[in-house]
Amino acid sequence: MISVFIVDDSVTTCEYLRAILEDDTEVTIAGIANDGSRALEEIVRLRPDVVLMDINMPGMNGYVATEKILAQYPVPIIICSTLWKPGEIAKTFQAIEVGAVTALAKPPGPGHPDFTRLVKRFVNIVKAMSEVTVIARKYGNVSVSAAKKNILKRVSITKNKIVAMGASTGGPQVLLQILKQLPDSFPLPIVIVQHIADGFLEGMGIWLENNIALKIVIPKNGERLLSGRVYLAPDGGQMSVNNNRIQLHPDAPKENQLAPSVSFLFRSIAESYGTAGIAILLTGMGRDGAQELKSIRDNGGLTIAQDAESSAIHGMPGEAIRLDGASHIMAPEQIAELLNELVSVKQ
């Protein structure tokens, strides 16, 4: 049985979330709190498997509560918000930055035309997040070591043209760790697929741009790729790259039940860039992008999978490693250091 603790200042919302969660026979409600202070006290005492956390609450808000809870009890915390303006959504990522595992929109009421599907998806994600192991980690002292020299020696004869990244659960924190270490003069475009709830992408982009030197772009179809730019795949369709331009495919089918999917993007990297592509598969559930990372490696590109120790969930990178798709296995700090070293090598 999965125990869930709900934190929200709306009594109505708490009861609604209780009802839809307890409708699943595998879920029980450990407790409910209407403010962050009470949540901190009760969660540390009751030790639930997963927490649903609102952000805007009187007194101690969800950001502060998340930070304080995780300092005492390492539990998966899901930021559960009503969709606001992108600037407001960006605030939810402050909680993700300090350790929340993901952000979800609160499910709609019974009158919504897609009520059944969205509620089922919401409950399934809550159950899946209960399995995430939350551990306080520091990456600042990690070194790339002598292996880096061998990588640089091998790739220095090529001309890298693009960096592609794929991430799911735990991805925003890791993307921030990597991107904040890259200078605004970084000479390659970076294209990213991050699995995230509909409506949260623009807010995530604002949050990232407020914390890194590079410019964040949610691209339009046909947009030319420029150095020093990070292109986030838009909601609801597939994204590929070809001839140094973004190609959006709003009507393309889902892959691995996802749109955008890492697999769709990585396949275009394998086909269009060959030895000039750098592809990085980060934390997340499932296997999206794993086979395609191997294709990039088979075509001579440089491929990296995040290591298990630093991953919230090692599903995607773990599958890539199992398939021998990753030429290198690294923590986020190592990945950032390597990217900076690669582009500084005279090619």
From first to last of the 347 residues of the chain, give the pLDDT tens digit. Answer: 999 999 999 999 999 999 999 999 999 999 999 999 999 999 999 999 999 999 888 889 898 999 999 999 999 999 988 756 666 777 788 888 888 988 888 888 888 888 898 899 899 989 989 988 776 544 333 344 444 545 554 454 457 799 999 999 889 999 999 999 999 999 999 999 999 988 889 999 999 999 999 999 999 999 999 999 999 999 989 999 999 999 999 999 999 999 999 999 999 999 999 999 999 999 998 999 999 999 999 999 999 999 999 998 899 999 999 999 999 999 999 999 999 998 875 44
pLDDT of residue 133: 76
Q: Which of 293, 71, 321, 311 is nearest to 173 (CA)?
A: 311
Select which of 195, 268, 310, 327 is catalytic: 195
pLDDT of residue 209: 94
Select which of 272, 288, 295, 314 is catalytic: 288
Select which of 81, 168, 311, 327 is catalytic: 168
Tell me the pairing of strands 229-232 and 190-194: parallel
249 is catalytic: no
Structural fold of domain 147-344: Rossmann fold (3.40.50)
Q: Does domain 2-129 have CATH number 3.40.50.2300?
A: yes
288 is catalytic: yes
Residue 62, judged by CB atoms within 10 A of its CB (0-12, 13-18, 19+), counts as buried
Distance of CA 191 to the CA centre of its chain: 14
Structural domain spans, the chain: 2-129, 147-344
Same topology, domains 2-129 and 147-344? Answer is yes
Tell me the pairing of strands 238-242 and 245-249: antiparallel
pLDDT of residue 94: 83
pLDDT of residue 347: 46
Are 290 and 323 in contact by the 8 Å Cβ rule? The answer is yes
Please state the pTM of the whole predicted model.
0.86
Tokens 């001309």 belong to 159
pLDDT of residue 84: 60
* Beta strand residue intervals within 43-138, DSSP E: 50-53, 77-81, 102-105
* Distance from C-alpha of 233 to C-alpha of 31, rounded to nearest angstrom: 37
pLDDT of residue 83: 58
